[in-house]
Amino acid sequence: MKPAIDRNVELFERASRVIPGGVNSPVRAFKAVGGTPRFVTRAQGAYFWDANGQRYTDYIGSWGPMILGHGHPAVVEAVRKALLEGFSFGAPTEREIELAEEILKHVPSMEMVRLVSSGTEAAMSAIRLARGATGRNKIIKFEGCYHGHADALLVKAGSGLATFGNPTSAGVPPEVVQHTLVLEFNHIAQLEEAFALHGKDVACLMIEPIAGNMNFVRASVAFMQRARELCTQYGALLVFDEVMTGMRVALGSAQSVYAKSIPSFEPDMTVMGKVIGGGMPLAAFGGKRAVMEHLAPMGSVYQAGTLSGNPVATACGLATLREISRPGFYEALGTKTRALVSGLQGAADAAGVPFCGDSEGGMFGFFLMPTLPQNYATVMTTDNQRFNTFFHGMLERGVYFAPALYEAGFMSAAHTEADIKHTVEAAAKVFRLLA
């Protein structure tokens, strides 16, 4: 039963008077799916409650960081203790070293790491470092991969093969993205042609190994292997954007998944965020020592941040990493995620609704189409209206998936078999409405 006064509507109207669009990050506005965003009042475990007191099973987990679920006791205690010691110092702390060491222990491709406050900041800084270390200007990215809202990365593909990008946001001058080359995800021939044309000028190739911003789309092993070979051949740096996948799909991150199939595989640099901060504003970028030593104060590539390595954020991140490092954690998490995706598949099949899904570790995605897409253009052929109906149908039944067709989903250790069963049963009812 809906409340007499919908507090979500009330709050959204109030927010819209003082915050552009009523939200502080666009996808929260429900613009893609329609309706009123849910204003969260609290969260615990696998759930959050909105301003009306309605409980939802949460499959976004703050867009990935809450791998342990909300309010894990060990993390809460670590944050509480850190708060009592001080919010921010603007000076180094031992905990920054401990967190850096913990990250490097699990991601051996990185020999040094720099902590920052957001994924956008980390990706932007990695691009600058790649250019400074190589003395080159051009960068390669892929359509459908999102690396934050830095100007040089807010681009879409040009009209022809291997053409340079055009700004996708007002306020980004064309000359800022003139060195950004945008290619089709999983298109090996196009990648080879791009390097043949521009390889000697390419500073880096940046890629989400498992894209999470066109829902969930894997880079094929063959595509990733060829990217590694071409970067090595032409002296460009291979940069993995693991803001979303880092320690989310595996303890060693997505690069460890590809290393199982590609001998001696590793990127030159890695961008991380979300899980390593445990829900606090924290991100990082790292790589080989020879590259990282180009950063100030050692080298000439400048990067700085007042709140970088914030003592409360590092406490939260460190406590999270220690919990997820326990034996069997990812095996259990992956089992839950696969159970959810296979359950949704079964419910869709029973209703005769086209559906396909995929997952790795605690990250998943699904599409209302018969086969998994391999690139952004195919993702864009999905029936948006049908997804929007599915989203709201699930929302009405207390299940919160991402309010956009193009976002991945996230499982946490706090989700139970009962949560998954409820989700699949709710989906079965919604799928019958879509049939």
Q: Could you tell me if 281 and 242 lie in one domain? A: yes
User: Looking at the domain assignment, is residue 338 inside a domain?
Assistant: yes
Average pLDDT of the segment spanning 110-117: 98
Range of the domain at 256: 73-324
β-pairing, 155-156 vs 166-167, is antiparallel
Of 295, 324, 353, the last residue of a domain is 324
Write the CA distances from 300 to 90, 171, 252, 353, integer angstroms: 22, 28, 30, 56
Q: Could you tell me if 65 and 82 lie in one domain? A: no
* Two tokens, residue 214: 């066109």
Query: What is residue 175's predicted lDDT score, i.e. its pLDDT?
Result: 82
Query: What is residue 192's predicted lDDT score, i.e. its pLDDT?
Result: 98
Query: For the chain, what is the domain count?
Result: 2
Average pLDDT of the segment spanning 213-241: 97
User: Looking at the domain assignment, is residue 2 inside a domain?
Assistant: no
Of 259, 291, 324, the last residue of a domain is 324
* Two tokens, residue 171: 């306020």
Q: Could you tell me if 194 and 302 lie in one domain? A: yes
Query: What is residue 158's predicted lDDT score, i.e. its pLDDT?
Result: 45
User: Looking at the domain assignment, is residue 1 inside a domain?
Assistant: no
Taking each helix axis from N to C terminus, what angle separates 311-324 and 329-351, rounded to the nearest 10 degrees?
A: 80
Instruction: Say which DSSP state 178 is in.
Output: T
Instruction: Say which CATH number the domain at 263 has.
Output: 3.40.640.10
Q: Tell me the catalytic residues.
A: 146, 241, 274
User: Looking at the domain assignment, is residue 156 inside a domain?
Assistant: yes
Integer Cα distance of 157 and 374 in angstroms: 16
Place of tokens 């459908």: 144
Instruction: Say which DSSP state 46 is in.
Output: T
Average pLDDT of the segment spanning 167-181: 85
Question: Is a pLDDT exceeding 60 seen at residue 157?
Answer: no
Q: In which band, very low, low, confident or very high, does the pLDDT at 161 lie, cut at 50, 70 and 90?
A: very low
Q: Could you tell me if 52 and 129 lie in one domain? A: no
